[in-house]
Amino acid sequence: MTRRFENRTAAVVGGGSGMGRSISLRLADEGAHVYVADLGADAAEAVAKEIVAAGGSAVAQQVDATDNDSLRALFDRVRDERGVLHALHAQVGMPGPAGLEVSDEQWATNVDVNVKSAYYTCTLGFDLLKAAGGTGSITMTSSTSALVGSPFSPIYSLTKGALVPFSRSLALNGAPDGVRVNVVCPGTVHTPMLAQFFGREPGADVSELTKDFVGGIPLGRGAQPEEVAAVIAFLLSDDASYVTGVTIPVDGGLTAK
């Protein structure tokens, strides 16, 4: 394993499970001191302990990414303990309700989780990334539904789609200070959240729905979270030092059709 993040500081917001966990582990494996931030305090602590047990460096912090004060507490801690942030990943997201009938409460929740959390994760941590002296980098997880549309949940496409132009604007804003910003759009990824995407309707046969969907992926399978983490690690590293404002599908060829 390369050590592209040796002596660097990283924060993964939504790092306690699924893709976020794999991203936290990958950055730590490559030498980063990782702040594992998650709504679930126990989940964040478990990932941090896993990193330390493997010889890495990490701490856990309970964070509600829809609460700006909670996010500020995370970045205040990073500032007090490290003084700088080199790599920041915004992972938080949720599947939206199926169909067009979305209540006011569902609308607000989806916008908060999928849009507000990403916006403020990136902007509240921006000064710490600027302090990295040209090596600061941000990544966000969107979805292939931001690129091709979701026939199942238009609100999911709407909210995840917002991250694509946001990343471009933020990349332009950060360029004078050497802060890069990029987005990945995973397709089907085998994480604990996968069943929520295919099981919105009560009584749905999730295994059959997943099988049918994966059959339409050119590579013939869903991704493992480690495969998404590898792309994130590249984008956050100096290997991608001239890559900013781009959106990369990690989807087995789904959006190439």
Q: Where in the sequence numbering do the catalytic residues fall?
A: 156
List of residues 6+ apart from 68 with CB closer than 8 A:
120, 124
Say if CB 26 and CB 226 are below 8 A apart.
yes
Residue among 86, 78, 59 at smallest CA distance from 4: 86
Distance of alpha carbon 47 from alpha carbon 25, whole angstroms: 8
CA 78, CA 204: separation in Å to the nearest integer? 43
**Contact call for residues 27 and 54 (beta carbons, < 8 A):** no
> What is d(CA 257, CA 154) in angstroms, rounded to the nearest whole number?
20
Cα of first residue to Cα of last residue in the chain, in angstroms, is: 33
How far, in Å, CA of 209 to CA of 94, rounded?
Answer: 19
Handedness of CA 162, 168, 173, 179 (dihedral sign): positive
Dist CA 122 CA 139 (whole Å)? 9
Secondary structure (3-state) at 19: helix
Is 123 exposed, middle or buried, given 0-12, 13-18 or 19+ CB atoms closer than 10 A? middle
Helix axis angle for 117-124 and 163-174, nearest 10°, is: 10
